[in-house]
Amino acid sequence: MSRSTVLAADYFQSYSVVGLLAVVGVLFVAVAFGAGRLLRPVVPTPEKLLTYECGVDPVGEGWAHTQVRYYVYAFLYVIFAVDSIFLFPWATIFAAPGYGATTLVEMFIFLGFLAVGLLYAWKKGVLEWT
Partner 1 sequence: MNDVLDVALRLIAVFAVFLVLPLVVGQAEHKVMAHMQGRLGPMHAGGFHGWAQLVADGVKFAQKEDVVPADADRRIFQLAPAVALLPYLLVLVAIPIGPGRGAVGQTVDAGVFFVLAVLGVGVLGSLMAGWASANKFSLLGGLRTAAQLLAYELPMLLAVASVAMAAGTVSIPGILHAFEWWWLPWQIVGALVFFVAGLAELQRPPFDMPVADSEIIFGAYTEYTGLRFALFLLAEYVGIVVLCALTTVLFLGGWHGPYGADGLGWVWTLLKVAVLAFVVIWLRVSYPRLREDQLQRLAWTVLIPLALAQIALTGIVKVAIN
Q: How far is the CB of 83 from partner 1 (least distance, A)?
A: 10
**Nearest Cα to 77, choosing from 121, 21, 108?**
121
Closest CB to partner 1 among residues 5, 51: 51
**2 vs 41 by CB, closer to partner 1:** 41
DSSP classification of residue 52: P
Distance (Å, whole) CA 50 – CA 17: 43
Q: What is the dihedral angle through the alpha carbons of 21, 91, 97, 4, rounded to the nearest 10 degrees?
A: 30
- The nearer residue to partner 1, 2 or 92, going by C-beta atoms, is 92
User: In angstroms, what is the minimal distance from the CB of 16 to partner 1?
Assistant: 9
Question: In whole angstroms, how close is the CB of 56 to partner 1 at the nearest point?
Answer: 12
